[in-house]
């Protein structure tokens, strides 16, 4: 009996304190609600659907668009005037991620060890508190990708001036993908689709587009509810039938990489009168990736295709998927046709190639950031082991590698790949001396050659690239080298020059903390 009484007393006492605590929480909640009402939640309009988005949110709650797509558009544009406070403090390096090739020169040059580090193939300021503002990293960078700045600046990017629908300062000219400043595959795919969405909206507003008719297949044996290419009646003439003539296309797309193919698929889906031009083969940007695995953490949403997951995450696997998409959807892509001139001609754009001229109301540029790399023109250059850009030097180990070129980029790539003798690197250059190098690179190359980290073949030329070897001419004799990877770094045509000729403004964007 005493135990029961003690239990009831303890229960009532506990209930009393719990009730009192709940009342206090309710009072605080009511007060907090009043305060919250006094300070309304800050929002901004979604660039895609114009519905309000809570500031700081990762996605739009209405249309699901990722806000990261517009990071560069929202970034501050750098101007010539500083406007810095009098007490600026110590300068620190700002790394242009677009220009960084991951060679590690800045890390080696910095006297304060550990200040800079390589992460995912790019240099970062890992420990700002260690930086003393010496500036040695600035002079060491072979691509001029580092400058000293004050304040909370994280990175600067040199990009075309585009708005939130990826239209440049030239009305009707859109720039998407790597050329627009963001090189991620998923981002590029989203940008290509959004650009065509805006083109379709404008054409519809002008009375130049209407939704294509869908033929409903009532065959019960058909389980798929998604329209195939044969089920969609294009509202305009089929793009496959258009040629180099007087036809005015709704949109002309330049490039067939991730952004360009996404734009092409979307234009095809909407039944737009389009043409896509690619100076090389389809997905040339992907073909230039090194033959290594790269992570595809989540499915890609491709127009006309839906969720797309690359199971093996390799360059070869992604290329196979790209070619399958083109084949199955029937999109019209004209390969090996380079755009030589792009200019306004009244209400339309005039686009000139070696094959002839095209006219289009709108143009979407989906070019690579580094433009058109100069090719060797030798047999075997089209193999997957040949690339024109070094992305992550640290991902190569124990390989036979040939680097071709005599400029700072080629030498930096060879030094990065041969660092600590982790690869067997040969640098092939047709000249007798590296006369164009920065003095620091000249000294580093000499040291690497003495330490046998890099083998240098001066006055040599590549004759043929074979699956497991490379044949060169060196000192008048034929030389066969075992080989796994070839990096061709002999220059190229900058896309920036092409953009300037079309009237596109190039600006410096500042990404801040």
Task: Report whether pLDDT(24) > 50.
Answer: yes
Indicate the CATH number for domain 173-214+229-371+495-508: 3.50.50.60
Task: Report whether pLDDT(59) > 80.
Answer: no
Q: What is the mean pLDDT of residues 365-387?
A: 85
Residues 6+ apart with CB under 8 A from 224: none
**Residue 55 to residue 51: CA distance in whole angstroms:** 12
Name the percent of the chain lying above pLDDT 90: 29
Per-residue pLDDT, 279: 85
Q: Which CATH class is domain 386-492?
A: alpha beta
Structure tokens given for 265: 């698929």
**Residue 32 to residue 450: CA distance in whole angstroms:** 70
Q: Give the confidence band of 448 by pLDDT, cuts at 50, 70, 90.
A: very high
Q: Which residues of 463-487 are buried (b: 16+ CB within 10 A; e: fewer)?
A: bebeeebbbbeeeeeeeebebbbbb
Per-residue pLDDT, 289: 60
Q: Quick one: CATH architecture of 70-80+88-158? A: 2-Layer Sandwich (3.30)
Per-residue pLDDT, 315: 63
- How many C-beta atoms surround the C-beta of residue 206 within 10 A? 9
pLDDT tens for each residue of 324-360: 888 888 888 998 898 989 999 889 999 999 888 999 9
Per-residue pLDDT, 511: 64
Per-residue pLDDT, 213: 64
Per-residue pLDDT, 138: 81
**Helix count (H) and strand count (E) of the chain?**
11, 30
Q: Where is pLDDT greater, at 88 or 113?
A: 113
Per-residue pLDDT, 512: 61
Per-residue pLDDT, 174: 96
pLDDT tens for each residue of 87-107: 456 777 888 776 677 778 888
Per-residue pLDDT, 84: 43
Q: Where is pLDDT greater, at 296 or 130?
A: 130
pLDDT tens for each residue of 191-240: 899 999 999 999 999 998 887 665 555 444 333 333 334 333 333 444 44
Per-residue pLDDT, 23: 61
The reported pTM is 0.61
**Residue 95 to residue 82: CA distance in whole angstroms:** 18
**Backbone phi, then psi, for 89, in 5-degree steps?**
80, -160
Asked whether the CA dihedral 182, 261, 493, 164 is positive or negative, the reply is negative
Given this chain, do its domains 70-80+88-158 and 173-214+229-371+495-508 carry the same CATH topology? no
Per-residue pLDDT, 38: 46
Domain segments of the chain as ranges: 70-80+88-158, 173-214+229-371+495-508, 386-492
Per-residue pLDDT, 248: 93
CA 396 to chain centre: 22
Q: What is the mean pLDDT of residues 505-513?
A: 73
pLDDT tens for each residue of 393-423: 777 899 999 999 998 889 989 998 998 888 9
Give percent helix, percent strand, percent coil of the chain, each to the nearest 5: 30, 25, 45
Name the percent of the chain lying above pLDDT 70: 69
Strands, DSSP E only, in 85-236? Answer: 92-95, 116-119, 122-125, 146-149, 153-160, 173-175, 213-214, 232-233
Q: Which residues of 44-66 are buried (b: 16+ CB within 10 A; e: fewer)?
A: eebbbeeebbeeeeeebeeeebe
* pLDDT, the chain, mean: 77
pLDDT tens for each residue of 231-250: 333 334 444 444 445 689 99
pLDDT tens for each residue of 263-278: 999 999 999 999 999 9
Q: Where is pLDDT greater, at 341 or 306?
A: 341
pLDDT tens for each residue of 122-152: 888 888 888 888 778 887 776 667 877 766 6
């Amino acid at each position: 009996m005493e135990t029961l009484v003690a239990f009831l007393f303890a229960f009532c006492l506990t209930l009393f304190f719990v009730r009192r605590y709940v009342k206090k929480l309710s009072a605080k909640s009511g007060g907090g609600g009043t305060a919250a009402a006094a300070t309304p939640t800050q929002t901004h309009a979604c660039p895609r659907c114009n519905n309000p988005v809570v500031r700081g949110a990762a996605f739009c709650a209405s249309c699901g668009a990722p806000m990261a797509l517009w990071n560069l558009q929202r970034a501050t544009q750098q101007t010539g005037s500083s406007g810095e406070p009098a007490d600026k403090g110590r300068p620190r390096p700002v790394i242009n991620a677009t220009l960084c090739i991951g060679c590690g020169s800045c890390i080696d040059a910095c006297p304060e060890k550990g200040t800079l580090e390589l992460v995912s193939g790019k240099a970062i300021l890992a420990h700002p508190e260690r930086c003393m503002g010496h500036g040695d990293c600035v002079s060491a960078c072979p691509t001029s990708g580092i400058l000293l700045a004050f304040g909370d600046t994280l990175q600067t990017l040199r990009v075309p001036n585009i708005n939130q629908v990826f239209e440049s300062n030239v009305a009707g000219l859109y720039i998407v993908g790597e050329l627009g400043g963001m090189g991620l595959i998923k981002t590029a795919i989203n940008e290509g689709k959004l650009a065509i969405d805006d083109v379709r909206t404008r054409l519809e507003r002008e009375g130049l587009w209407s939704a294509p008719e869908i033929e409903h297949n009532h065959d019960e044996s058909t389980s798929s509810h998604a329209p195939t290419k044969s089920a969609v009646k294009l509202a305009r003439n089929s793009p496959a039938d258009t040629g180099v003539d007087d036809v005015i296309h709704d949109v002309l797309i330049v490039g067939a990489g991730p952004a360009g193919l996404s734009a092409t698929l979307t234009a095809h889906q909407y039944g737009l009168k389009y043409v896509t031009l690619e100076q090389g083969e389809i997905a040339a940007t992907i073909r230039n990736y090194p033959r290594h695995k790269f992570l595809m953490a989540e499915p890609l949403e491709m127009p006309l295709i839906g969720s797309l997951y690359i199971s093996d995450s390799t360059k070869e696997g992604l290329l196979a998927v790209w070619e399958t998409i083109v084949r199955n959807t029937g999109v019209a892509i004209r390969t090996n046709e380079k755009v030589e001139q792009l200019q306004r001609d009244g209400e339309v754009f005039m686009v000139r190639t070696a094959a002839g001229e095209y006219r289009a109301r709108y143009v979407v540029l989906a070019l690579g950031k580094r433009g058109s790399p100069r090719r060797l023109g030798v047999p075997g250059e089209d193999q997957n082991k040949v690339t024109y850009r070094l992305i992550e030097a640290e991902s190569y180990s124990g390989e036979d590698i040939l680097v071709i070129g005599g400029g700072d980029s080629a030498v930096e790539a060879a030094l990065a790949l041969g660092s600590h003798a982790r690869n067997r690197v040969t640098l092939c250059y047709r000249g007798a001396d590296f006369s164009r190098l920065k003095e620091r690179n000249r000294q580093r190359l000499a040291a690497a050659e003495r330490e046998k980290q890099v083998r240098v073949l001066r006055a040599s030329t590549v004759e043929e690239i074979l699956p497991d070897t490379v044949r060169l001419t060196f000192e008048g004799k034929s030389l066969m080298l075992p080989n796994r990877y070839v990096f061709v770094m002999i220059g190229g045509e900058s896309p920036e020059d092409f953009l300037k000729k079309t009237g596109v403004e190039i600006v410096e964007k500042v990404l801040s903390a």
